[in-house]
Structure 1
Amino acid sequence: MRSDDRDRADALVRGPASVGTAVVPALSVHRTLELLDDLPSRAEEWKYLPAWQTERRPDQLAAPTGGRTPEQAPQIRRIFEHRLRLVSELHGTAVRLAAGTDTGTGHLVPGFALHDEPALLVAAGLTPAEALRAATRDAARTLGLPAVGTLARGQAAELLVLDAPVGDDGLL
């Protein structure tokens, strides 16, 4: 949505909630496109990609962002902040939020991008536990896979428990 119109935003939030729709905000891809100055270096992650793909990454990112001027940066940052507010409002309704990334776009690396998504959901107002559920149980249910995504008898699961410090955002 390209507007700060409150009625349109309210309708956007109420619509999916009224019909039980799940929403996948894909905040990782929006951060990549809207907060270029905040992009972390992905060189370590890129070693898992084929060379032909990493060689094209700068061009992939330049295509949607190349015509921006420095004067537009504050406006574009506000667009990302607006997205976070919309996700927060959706979270306050009956909408199921599921973590997803649109991997393959810009600087997103399959697998690694999904590690960033829960932190962005926390930035939008979800608790760390809610963000973890969005990336596990709720994502599985959104895909029609009720037998995965939770730890329970009879569920398919792989679990890795780490003894690692938790960051300020409540995530590893």
Structure 2
Amino acid sequence: MRTATCVEADLASLERHLPTGRNNAQAYHFQRQQTGEIDYLIAWLDDVPVGQAVITWAGFLDERVRAAVRGCPEIGWLGVAPARRGRGVGIALLQSAESRIAARGLRMSGVGVATDNPRAARLYERLGYRDTSMSSESRYTWYDDADIGHDIVETTNFLVKDL
């Protein structure tokens, strides 16, 4: 397995193997990467994308959290294909993101983890992330494979790690 920055030629394969449908998340991330706002990382097993992560260089979206941990990029959108979960893909993406952050001379990375995802929270804590005691609530609409919109309310806890 290898991790690499997304290039435009990857988008069709990403949508085929890690589909987001109407949400069009991969194209959105790629567009943001073109501005330098983020790095969009893809985990590949042979020629198949099996995971993805985004480094947001400006830090957390929540202004209160961003102010409390200045200079801390956020690693987000960390996702692994269901058939590949529990096989080190998420760890490889996280470590690749942390290496990129450290290469820019930054000394801290952060992640947000939904309160209904204790498995991810345990992974982050095992890898050295610590809870900031800060959380936020976000609301968005997610479209499923049948193009049905679901209004989502998600509470996210913020964790940080010294690099």
For the criterion TM > 0.5, the same-fold answer is no
Bigger strand fraction: 2
TM-score under structure 1 length normalisation: 0.27
Bigger helix fraction: 1
